Structure 1
Amino acid sequence: MSWEIDWLKNRAGITPNRIAVVDGDTKECWTYAQLNDRANQLAAYFLSLGIQKGDRIVLVSPNHISYFDLYFACEKIGAIFVPLNWRLSNAEIQYIIRDCLPSLIAYHSDVKELIGNIVAFSTLKVDSQSYAEHLLFEKEFQCTHPIQKEDPLAIIYTGGTTGNPKGVVLTHQSIFCNSTNTILSWNLNGNDTTLTVLPMFHTGGLFSLTIPLLQIGGKVVFTSKFDPEKTVDLLNGELCTIVLLVPTMHHMVIETSAFQHSEFPSMHTFLSGGAPCPHVIYQAYEQKGLTFKEGYGLTEAGPNNFYMDPSDVSNKKGSVGKPMLFNEALLINDDGTEADPDEVGELLIKGYHVFDHYWNNPEQTKATKVKGWLHTGDLAKKDKDGYFYIVGRKKDMIITGGENVYPLEVEHVLAEHKYVSEVAVVGVSHDKWGEIVVAYIAPKRENTIYEDELKAFCQQKLGGYKVPKKFIFVEELPKTHVGKIDKKQLMGIEIFDLDNG
């Protein structure tokens, strides 16, 4: 099936003068007509360079208007957009570039050192005068190869926490279906405005709200880096209605004086994704009468998969909701049978929004997509009313003395302690128990917590085998490039005095 509809062109025809994108740092803004013109001009320039359908175009940059230029130019000519995590090491960037072999590497001068040694590829600096001149290129172009719905549109590389990064191939169909599913299931409309502070090299920054809102005619405000005080100012100043942050960002926002003194009159929804959210964050928004809810996604699916009605949040705290209109979710046991209500199982996802394959990795693709179902590797449970709850990563489950412990449950309890700022729970090898539960704690500033105090606190709410055997106190927990707590780095922090008796 041919995929010849240029929806950005049509959106620009419907609402040409409506503001589409705003740079929250500089306040520069672009209408839908201007956004479409920029994409057309860049597409024509790419074709003049000999870039063809299926060629990869890499972008290494903080959030910047060039994300929109390059993404839509690729969509128009059938090229593949590959945004790279600029917080990776030079060696990791080099690995990805060798893996995808781009025809062009676009970059921002702020991260020039990451591609400074690359001489085998054409480059384009997106914050240069020459880039601006390319946007004055002719607007008319002719693609010689029709675009099919199964054709790749983007490759998003995963974090590589268990090895080399994997290139997740998203097709025109999968991205379009995620947008359509999100718009209809979440009731988005052209009056909505979002703030994109998540990096747009990440699926959450680019595809959770940014592309869906542009498709429906809304407004996207972006900023190049996250600052909690500035985030509150932009949400209010730009009259935002909906925002997605990861839990660490929410934690930092609710501790600002700006949050305490703001009523957020334009906001209708605060969303959290990327990791399960501590209940204390729910409470902070509830106290201000603001709608806060969790979502669930991953690079390989969407990233949007569930919807939670705001009226259900208080009764279903911690739930990500029910599957959206055009996708399915299933929980299975280790033997492949469906899990019973309230029984923990692996979460499987099915829908046209699911990724097509891993770039240059057929074995991993075959292991991850089985009979149409995406095996997420995440553990979840579903209550009798059909609401899903994410429990944690399958590989993160702790087995201590033959008992299963889900770190998230312990983390939720510890996060309720008034002096705990951040917490992460992991399993550590132990001669007697197989694994023991260990908690890493970042206390709130100017507060001291003692191990015996935390053990007693946990014993009030958890079974004995779930109570951490050891507490490690740190100033701050390490984070990934999108602000999630990095448990892999945590495991490198040396632990002393563990009783192996």
Structure 2
Amino acid sequence: MSYEIDWVKSRSDLFPEKCAVIDSVTQDSWTYKELNERASRLAGLFLAQGVEKGDRIALFSENHISYFDFLFACLKIGAVFVPLNWRLSTDELQFVVSDAAPVIMGVQSCFIKQASGLQEDFYLIEVDSNTYLDQFPAVDRLRRPLLQESDPLAMIYTGGTTGHPKGAVLSHRSIMWNAINTIVSWNLTDSDTTMTCIPMFHTGGLNALSVPVLIAGGTVVLSPGFEPEQAVKDLIKYKCSIVLFVPTMYHMLTRTKEFKSAKFPDMKVFLSGGAPCPMGIYDVFSSKGLAFKEGYGLTEAGPNNFYIDPREALQRRGSVGKPMLFNAVKVVKKTGDEADPGEVGELYLRGSHLFEYYWNKEEETKEVWRDGWFQTGDLAMMDEAGYYYIVGRKKDMIITGGENVYPLEIENWLECHDAVEEVAVIGIPDDKWGEKVVAFITAGSPGLTEEVLVNYCKKKLAKYKIPKNFYFIDELPKTHVGKINKNELRKSLDKVT
């Protein structure tokens, strides 16, 4: 079925004067009418430059109103929005740009020098301020192609730690159904306000809450980066009712004096995503009487897939909840059979919110689909009551002496130790055990020793799960989106062995 897809215009027509977006730095704000007008003006420029349906249009910027300008302009004319990770090295960025081959690139002024070194031919739009669009003429009527739900709208490159990133193609259907599922399952309304600090080149920054909140008619506060002290102030100032941070952000946030004294009177719930959350974070929010829960997703799927009531999250710590209304979930064992409650297997997902394919990677696309189900590569377990728990990445599972070890179980226990700040557990090759368990620790107080941690582990963990070695380091390496980079930890051991 072909039709025009433009919920931005519809929202503008229905509630033109409702505040849609706020810039937390400049204090500029835009109504839904203004948001639609900006997207239409930019779409007119794209068409004047000869952009056709399916052409890629990239953006190289920190969190900024231009993300919505570019995404919604692409939505109007059938182009494909490609947000670029500004934290990539020059070589990594060159690969992504060469792979996507954008015909137009928006570049924030601070990245002009970096973008000018790219060996690609594209029309450059400098994003020098919130008024960068004023130089272009307004348009009364756009030439709009007929679109299919399955036509691509965005292409987000996965943040893998090995090999080249893959462009996950999200269709109009993918993004719309993720938003609808989120709005209905999480009870988002036009009274909700969120703050987006997670980089919007990441699916969590763009699609977890920003787009769903706008479709619901709420307000998105944009922050170009994450400063924990300022984040506390902004959450209160803008009366945010829901927010998503990754665990590393919560680790920083909860240690500030601003957080410790804050009340957050308008906040319905704090969400954690991007990686499993340490159990200690639950304790901090519980002690302040603040609602807190975890979610689960990935670039190829949503990223929203589960719902759990914050009260249930307190009782079932570590659970991401039950499947949302419009998606299906199952856990599959190595045999191909569906796992029983309490058994660990690979998490499979199905629903209209899933990505369409990997750009220019037909074989890789085939590998992750099975009979209409997307194979996530994550290990999960469902309990007797139907609540799901993410156990870890399939590739991170450790087999030592024939026993399966899931690093997350060990990490959660070690992070409960008062003297441990952060921890990462990996498996490394071992002649005797096949693999041996080792842990990297950042200590929150002096005097923490391997002996202390071994004795602590004995209280909770089976002997084969206790790390054979503990490595104390100043800081754990992180990926571009704040996840602990275990591949870098393995490389660091290779250098010393």
Query: Alignment partner of 1:113: what SS?
Result: helix
Query: Alignment partner of 1:106: what SS?
Result: strand
Match of 2:139 in 1: 138
**1:57-456 equivalence runs, <5 A:** 57-118=57-118, 120-127=121-128, 131-143=132-144, 145-444=145-444, 446-456=445-455
Q: Gaps (5+ residues) in structure 1?
A: none
More displaced, 478-487 or 283-292? Answer: 478-487
Query: How far 1:310 sits from its partner (Å)?
Result: 2.0
Query: Alignment partner of 1:82: what SS?
Result: strand
Partner AA of 1:492 in structure 2 = K
Query: Alignment partner of 1:184: what SS?
Result: helix
Identify if the C-alpha distance between structure 1 residues 22 and 497 changes in structure 2 by more than 3 Å, giving closer, same or farther.
closer
Q: Distance in 2 between matches of 1:481 and 1:53?
A: 31
Q: Distance in 2 between matches of 1:139 and 1:82?
A: 26
Partner AA of 1:187 in structure 2 = N
More displaced, 23-32 or 125-134? Answer: 125-134
Identify if the C-alpha distance between structure 1 residues 16 and 471 changes in structure 2 by more than 3 Å, giving closer, same or farther.
same
Query: Alignment partner of 1:314: what SS?
Result: helix
TM-score, with length taken from structure 2: 0.98
Q: Distance in 2 between matches of 1:479 and 1:442?
A: 13
Q: Check conservation: 2:327, 2:351, Cα contact below 8 A.
A: yes
Q: Check conservation: 2:161, 2:485, Cα contact below 8 A.
A: no
Identify if the C-alpha distance between structure 1 residues 129 and 470 changes in structure 2 by more than 3 Å, giving closer, same or farther.
closer
Partner AA of 1:416 in structure 2 = C
Query: How far 1:113 sits from its partner (Å)?
Result: 3.2
Match of 2:24 in 1: 24
Identify if the C-alpha distance between structure 1 residues 157 and 203 changes in structure 2 by more than 3 Å, giving closer, same or farther.
same
Q: Check conservation: 2:380, 2:392, Cα contact below 8 A.
A: yes
Partner AA of 2:353 in structure 1 = H
Q: Distance in 2 between matches of 1:282 and 1:93?
A: 37
Query: Alignment partner of 1:454: what SS?
Result: helix
Identity %: 54
Query: Alignment partner of 1:313: what SS?
Result: helix
Query: Alignment partner of 2:168: what SS?
Result: strand
Query: How far 1:135 sits from its partner (Å)?
Result: 4.7
More displaced, 489-498 or 186-195? Answer: 489-498
Q: Check conservation: 2:65, 2:130, Cα contact below 8 A.
A: no
Q: Check conservation: 2:424, 2:441, Cα contact below 8 A.
A: yes
Query: Alignment partner of 2:239: what SS?
Result: coil
More displaced, 75-84 or 116-125? Answer: 116-125
Q: Distance in 1 between matches of 2:448 and 2:65?
A: 45
Match of 1:477 in 2: 476
Query: Alignment partner of 1:160: what SS?
Result: coil
Query: Alignment partner of 1:379: what SS?
Result: strand
Q: Distance in 2 between matches of 1:130 and 1:35?
A: 13
Q: Distance in 1 between matches of 2:373 and 2:18?
A: 40
Identify if the C-alpha distance between structure 1 residues 113 and 491 changes in structure 2 by more than 3 Å, giving closer, same or farther.
farther
Match of 1:463 in 2: 462
Q: Distance in 2 between matches of 1:197 and 1:67?
A: 13
Q: Distance in 1 between matches of 2:258 and 2:300?
A: 36
Q: Check conservation: 1:104, 1:122, Cα contact below 8 A.
A: yes
Q: Distance in 2 between matches of 1:197 and 1:472?
A: 31
Query: Alignment partner of 1:200: what SS?
Result: coil
Q: Distance in 1 between matches of 2:227 and 2:294?
A: 21
Q: How many residues align?
A: 496
Q: Gaps (5+ residues) in structure 2?
A: none
Deviations 1:380-401 (A, max 9, x none): 0000000000000000001111
Partner AA of 2:394 in structure 1 = K
Deviations 1:154-212 (A, max 9, x none): 00001132211100000001100000000000000000000100000000000000000
Q: Check conservation: 1:89, 1:114, Cα contact below 8 A.
A: no
Match of 2:37 in 1: 37
Q: Distance in 2 between matches of 1:242 and 1:129?
A: 25
Q: Distance in 2 between matches of 1:135 and 1:454?
A: 62
Q: Distance in 2 between matches of 1:344 and 1:139?
A: 56
Q: Distance in 2 between matches of 1:401 and 1:458?
A: 19
Partner AA of 1:382 in structure 2 = M
Query: Alignment partner of 1:93: what SS?
Result: helix
Partner AA of 1:327 in structure 2 = N
Q: Distance in 2 between matches of 1:462 and 1:136?
A: 66
Query: How far 1:316 sits from its partner (Å)?
Result: 1.0
TM-score, with length taken from structure 1: 0.97
